[in-house]
Amino acid sequence: MEFLLSDEQIEMQDSVRRFLEKTCPSTTLHEIFDSEDGHSRELWQGIVDLGIPAMIVPEAYGGLGLELLDLAILTETLGYATTPGPFLGHALCTQAILQAGSEEQKQAWLPKLASGEILGSFACAESNDCWLPEQLSLKSEQSLSGTKQHVLYADESDIIVMALAEGGFALLERGASGLSVHKRKLTDRTRHIADIQLDNTPIEHLAGSTDAAAKVFDTALILLAADSFGGARRCIDQAVEYAQTRSQFGVLIGSFQAMKHQLANMALEVEPMRGLYWHSAYAFDHEPLAARRQAALAKAHICDRFLQTARNTIEAHGGIGYTWECDTQILLKRALFNYAYLGTPSVHRKRVADLADW
């Protein structure tokens, strides 16, 4: 019984945290947030240099051969800093090829994704809030016509892996014929998404299976949960720090009992969620029977609480928290992304109940 991170895992988290503190302080974060493409090459290169894209790639394909838990704990650290950029799409692209690709496809793509030589992305949603693998209707054929929505960094990515109906997957290369990207005004500018339109676009078919689709989808849920836990923890730290420095009526506002109780209630919701997301990531590799339900529960609960915690954090800050220049607005928007992307908490709560045969 050792439900703890190893010294190596804690050291990995620390080095990522130190890197982000140096490379992506608040001023840089806001610059990227306000930029056109929400993508700093320098920041992404640093993430690549830290080996994050290589983590779950087996050593045979140039990766580190680690488990999803290792990637999840670093996702928490990235979430804590509301790290902008293409990490999530790249990680899901990698997992999709790992789970659904043929030997040749793995050899062709995984080393390049692990080393950051190419940037990958992932697409699933089609329309009307349909995210779940069993809701998809685009079918795998020689070429495809149709729409995929909310695709992460569609413009910048070299390849996009699309989840399709019946557990199918297809790989799309940048500049493919008939591919067009349609941007909209974004809420969370730390993760850029766009709709892609395919018009008789040639694709590379991946074998896939419903099990592979489930695993890729669960990976996405777990990483969103981990990111949300990091973001929620950051909210607490921000709110506490503000309460320890802001004075009114001649005293620190943190000495008021109303403030203390508000912050204690927030911390009370957030801190225990660490174990929930750890276990969901652990279950992915070690408890296959529980894995699907745990991933759904973690996504539903933690993304839900992150959004509420972000709202509470802004309230605890008073007027300054309501401004564009305060980090709290970025936390709120990150929380909104995590809440909605891949389906809202109520969608996943329904799955949790169904998966238990209630």
Partner 1 sequence: MDLSYNAEYEQFRTTVAEFLKGHWPVPAEIAEQPRHKQEAWFRTQAIENGYLYRSVPKEFGGSEQEADILKATIIREEFSKVRAPMEAPGIGNMMLVPTLLECGTQAQKERFVSKTLTGEYKWAQGYSEPNAGSDLASLRTRAELRDGPEGQQWVINGQKIWSTLAQYADYMFVLARTEPDAGKHAGISYLLIDLKQPGITIRPIKQVTGGTEFCEVFFDDACTPADWIVGQRGDGWKVSKSTLKHERSSIGGAQTSVNLFEKLLQLAKETTLNGQPAIKDPIIRDRLVTLEGYVQSHLYSNYRQLSMAAAKQNSGYVGLMNKLINTNIGHEVAALAKDLLGENLLYMPPTKGRATGPEKWLNQLMGSLGVAIAGGTSNIQRNIIAERGLGLPRESGDT
Residues in contact with partner 1 by the rule CB under 8 A: 1-6, 69, 236, 240, 243-244, 251-252, 254-255, 257, 259-261, 263-265, 267-268, 271-276, 278-279, 282, 286-287, 297, 300-302, 304-305, 346, 349-350, 352-353, 358
Q: Which is nearer to partner 1, 45 or 245 (CB)?
A: 245
How far, in Å, CA of 212 to CA of 216, rounded? Answer: 6
Strand partners, 173: 159
Q: Are 250 and 98 in contact (CB under 8 A)?
A: no
Residues 6+ apart with CB under 8 A from 146: 126, 138, 197, 198
Q: Which is nearer to partner 1, 31 or 354 (CB)?
A: 354
Q: Exposed/middle/buried for 146, CB within 10 Å: 0-12, 13-18, 19+? A: middle
CB 3, min distance to partner 1, A = 4
- The one-letter amino acid code at 180 reads S
Q: How far is CA 213 from CA 152, 179, 199, in A?
A: 18, 23, 24
Strand partners, 202: 143
Q: Which is nearer to partner 1, 152 or 331 (CB)?
A: 331
How far, in Å, CA of 92 to CA of 293, rounded? Answer: 19
Q: Are 87 and 125 in contact (CB under 8 A)?
A: no
Q: Which is nearer to partner 1, 5 or 336 (CB)?
A: 5
Q: Which is nearer to partner 1, 74 or 152 (CB)?
A: 74
CB 44, min distance to partner 1, A = 29
CB 305, min distance to partner 1, A = 8
Q: Which is nearer to partner 1, 46 or 321 (CB)?
A: 321
CB 35, min distance to partner 1, A = 34
CB 224, min distance to partner 1, A = 14
Q: Which is nearer to partner 1, 11 or 287 (CB)?
A: 287
CB 320, min distance to partner 1, A = 19
Residues 6+ apart with CB under 8 A from 166: 139, 210
How far, in Å, CA of 187 to CA of 334, rounded? Answer: 8
CB 265, min distance to partner 1, A = 7
CB 151, min distance to partner 1, A = 29
The DSSP code for 272 is: T
Q: Which is nearer to partner 1, 81 or 236 (CB)?
A: 236
In terms of Cα–Cα distance, which of 309, 241, 312 is closest to 269? Answer: 309
Q: Exposed/middle/buried for 169, CB within 10 Å: 0-12, 13-18, 19+? A: buried
